[in-house]
Structure 1
Amino acid sequence: MSGVDEPGLPTLYDWAGGLVPLRRMIDRFYDRVEADPDLSGFFPGGVSEHHRAHVADWWAEVLGGPTTYTDRHGGYESMLRHHLGLDITPAQRHRFASTMSLAADEADLPADPEFRAAIIGYLEWGTRLAMENSRPGATPVEHAPTPRWGWGVAPPYQG
């Protein structure tokens, strides 16, 4: 799938600094999840290196980076399968989203309001979709491209 049509703007992936800072965010996030009584139950025994790497690849692709998750890990269909039947509650979804926001701070991702609005916009959309798809009896869209997220209504301020 091609990127978002935002001519002249860097991708969110590039603005974040690439895979290394995104992986740092994912590691900070899962370190917090493992210690969180409301979220750790989704990962009995802890969050594996394998899972962390795959989620970092997902975030990289969604934010406009390489298509590694789709090419090597199964794309949207694979991500969907990981959430089916989890029955994520609204409180758990909120906890997940707020924990990821804290992890972005701890990973020193860019703190400008435009970038944070874009990634939190994706986080809200993605966690709400995952929650709905996780419900018993849900009938999610079975085949879709991996989303590619852009700046939306607040492009980067470049002075």
Structure 2
Amino acid sequence: MTSVYESAGGREGMRRLAHAWHERVMADEVVAHAFHHGFHPQHTERLAAYWGEALGGPADYSRGLGDESRVLRMHSGEGVHEDMDRRAIACFDLALADVGLADAEPLRGVLHDYFAWVTTEWMTRYPHDADAVPTGLAVPRWSWDGRQQDQ
């Protein structure tokens, strides 16, 4: 069976989606606040590598950019921000349309579910203390059936 990553266009599809999402969040007055401190010049490429790995692609993020503990620490310690999370998900859904995946079922639904889960459940696990994130975590994997527990 083709992976979610492959169905979404592989490495180039992840880059297009990450770019479209980033453009959308930077235009959103609430979500853009998450980037008020700036961001890495290759933010969208790094994000694409992370999403690609999570969705069944190569482990480019883990091999060259860091582990899941690093990602969680970047997203932790800022408190609870439910409105921002909802808006980030809405931006993701619009980005899916921007890259031509809005009508590509079941792919669109799987990508939405992944992003909603990672945004509202996974990245919010340590809202008050980034130092509480355990070391050595692996990027969580997601497939057509949702989160893959045996990593």
Q: In structure 1, what is the equivalent of residue 77 of structure 2?
A: 85
Q: In structure 1, what is the equivalent of residue 145 of structure 2?
A: 152
Quote how far apart the aligned CAs of 1:113 are.
2.0
Q: In structure 2, what is the equivalent of residue 18 of structure 1?
A: 10
Which runs of 4 or more aligned residues in structure 1 lie more than 4 Å from their structure 2 counterparts after TM superposition?
Answer: 45-48, 137-142
Quote how far apart the aligned CAs of 1:142 are.
4.3
Quote how far apart the aligned CAs of 1:38 are.
0.3
Distance 1:136 1:119, change over 3 A: same
Whether the 8 Å CA contact 2:20–2:95 is kept in 1: the answer is yes
What amino acid maps onto 1:104 in structure 2?
L
> 1:71 and 2:63 equivalent?
yes
> 1:42 and 2:34 equivalent?
yes
Question: CA RMSD, aligned part only?
Answer: 2.1
What amino acid maps onto 1:145 in structure 2?
A
Q: Helix, strand or coil: the match of 2:63?
A: helix
Deviations 1:7-63 (A, max 9, x none): xx1001111111112111111111121121101111126554321111110011111
Q: In structure 1, what is the equivalent of residue 93 of structure 2?
A: 101
Structure 1 length normalisation: TM-score? 0.81
Whether the 8 Å CA contact 2:55–2:142 is kept in 1: the answer is yes
Between the two structures, name the one with larger relative contact order (CA 8 Å, sep ≥ 6). Answer: 1
Gaps of 5+ in 2: 147-151
What amino acid maps onto 2:144 in structure 1?
W
Alignment length (residue pairs): 145
Q: In structure 2, what is the equivalent of residue 156 of structure 1?
A: none
Whether the 8 Å CA contact 1:30–1:47 is kept in 2: the answer is no
Structure 2 length normalisation: TM-score? 0.84
Quote how far apart the aligned CAs of 1:143 are.
3.7
Quote how far apart the aligned CAs of 1:134 are.
4.7
Q: If you compute each CA radius of gyration, which structure gives the higher value, 1 or 2? A: 1
Q: Helix, strand or coil: the match of 2:97?
A: helix
